[in-house]
């Protein structure tokens, strides 16, 4: 299985590996089906930009480091419900939220590194909620690398899963952190530090963030983690950067938006070339098949020899660049 941009979908060679659902989670197309041209444009209208497919090239590729889609969609639905509850002045759905935090924490403890499901694999109306789930996954991964205990991970995850909840009450970008802070703070079952994650997630070390422009040590470590996760998620899902490009971008913010230690912890837990990435190596073109020991040195199947090489064991082999789909045909 691999992920392709919807524009690169080829009806003749590719089948869906995962179902495509609409915003109500109705299955539009099941796994195993092919997508007719007319239907492709419908999916694009829904805001879907990526598809999971099987084809000759994807043979032997699995995406084990990616969260399973039904669970991911379940948690997105919980965040959507939370927004609705806040809009209607109902209490936060704590049972579902607690369960979601637990499932996300388990997911992160299971995997050495994670691959994000871009929010553009779901319809546009679910995107803001999917974003909050992805930010939580990334934050937990960073927390794990920093050696956080269970309680710290819980509080971090709660803050991240609700970091943009203020948007349920205000359209003003400058206001949403404080609005969110007040919503979370009003709930006694949630730690105050989680509320501060929402309050501070747009603050930066150099004091150029918002809403209070606090700086340096005043920006809580949890909030810095939420901030880096937020930046990476936006780079992947909104700017459509590839994971390696997104990591590069984050590195440039080191010690300006968040501390270098947090950037390093982030770097250790993120896969830069997920399985299925088409790459140009200094020894020829290939496709990433697995990520084993080192999240930045994957195993690559080299097309011209039809064999896999582990970059982690072959230090002289370099990835020169990520290739777009059409230039990297199997010959």
Are the CB atoms for 98 and 75 separated by under 8 Å? no
Binding residue count for Fe ion, defined by CB under 5 A: 1
User: Closer CB to Fe ion, residue 63 or residue 160?
Assistant: 160
Span from 21-29, 65-73, 156-164, 317-325 in contact with Fe ion (CB under 5 A): 156-164
The minimum distance between CB 239 and Fe ion, in angstroms, equals: 16
DSSP count for the chain of H helices, then E strands = 10, 10
What does the CA dihedral 85, 89, 91, 96 come to, rounded to 10 degrees? 10
Are the CB atoms for 76 and 123 separated by under 8 Å? no
C-alpha separations of 179 from 157, 219, 234 in Å: 19, 18, 21
User: Closer CB to Fe ion, residue 179 or residue 328?
Assistant: 179
The minimum distance between CB 229 and Fe ion, in angstroms, equals: 11
Q: Using CB under 5 A, which residues numbered 194 to 253 contact Fe ion?
A: none
The minimum distance between CB 155 and Fe ion, in angstroms, equals: 18
Span from 27-35, 44-52, 157-165, 209-217 in contact with Fe ion (CB under 5 A): 157-165
The minimum distance between CB 176 and Fe ion, in angstroms, equals: 6
Within 10 A of 284 (CB to CB), how many other CB atoms are there? 13
Phi, psi for 178 (deg, rounded to 5)? -70, -40
Longest dimension (CA), the chain: 62
The minimum distance between CB 167 and Fe ion, in angstroms, equals: 7
Residue 54 binds Fe ion (CB under 5 A): no
Binding mask 159-178 vs Fe ion (x if CB under 5 A, - otherwise)? -----x--------------
User: Closer CB to Fe ion, residue 152 or residue 170?
Assistant: 170
Are the CB atoms for 202 and 234 separated by under 8 Å? no
| E strand segments, 13-167 | 15-16, 20-21, 27-29, 50-54
User: Closer CB to Fe ion, residue 197 or residue 299?
Assistant: 197
Q: Which residues bind Fe ion (CB under 5 A)?
A: 164
């Amino acid at each position: 299985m691999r992920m392709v941009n919807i524009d690169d979908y080829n009806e003749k060679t590719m089948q869906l590996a995962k179902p495509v659902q609409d915003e109500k989670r109705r299955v539009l197309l099941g796994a195993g089906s092919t997508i007719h041209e007319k239907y492709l444009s419908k999916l694009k209208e829904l805001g879907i930009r990526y598809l999971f497919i099987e084809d000759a090239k994807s043979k032997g590729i699995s995406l084990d480091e990616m969260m399973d889609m039904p669970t991911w969609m379940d948690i997105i639905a919980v965040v959507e419900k939370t927004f609705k509850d806040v809009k209607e002045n109902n209490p936060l759905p704590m049972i579902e939220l607690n369960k979601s935090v637990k499932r996300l924490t388990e997911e992160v403890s299971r995997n050495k590194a994670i691959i994000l499901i871009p929010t553009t694999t779901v319809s546009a109306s679910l995107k803001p909620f999917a974003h909050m789930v992805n930010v939580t996954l990334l934050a937990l991964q960073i927390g794990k690398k920093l050696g956080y205990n269970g309680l710290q991970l819980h509080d971090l995850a709660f803050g991240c899963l609700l970091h943009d909840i203020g948007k349920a009450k205000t359209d003003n970008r400058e206001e949403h952190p404080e609005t969110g802070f007040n919503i979370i703070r009003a709930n006694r079952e949630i730690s105050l530090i989680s509320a501060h994650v929402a309050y501070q997630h747009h603050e930066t070390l150099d004091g150029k963030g918002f809403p209070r422009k606090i700086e340096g040590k005043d920006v809580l470590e949890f909030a810095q983690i939420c901030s880096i996760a937020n930046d990476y998620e936006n780079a992947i899902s909104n700017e459509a950067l590839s994971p390696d490009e997104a990591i590069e971008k984050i590195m440039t913010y080191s010690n300006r938006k968040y501390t270098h230690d947090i950037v390093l912890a982030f770097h250790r837990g993120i896969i830069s070339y997920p399985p299925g990435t088409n790459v140009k190596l200094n020894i020829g073109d290939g496709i990433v098949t697995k990520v084993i020991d080192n999240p930045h040195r994957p195993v690559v199947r080299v097309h011209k020899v039809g064999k896999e090489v582990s970059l982690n064991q072959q230090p002289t082999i370099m990835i020169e660049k990520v290739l777009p789909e059409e230039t990297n045909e199997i010959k």
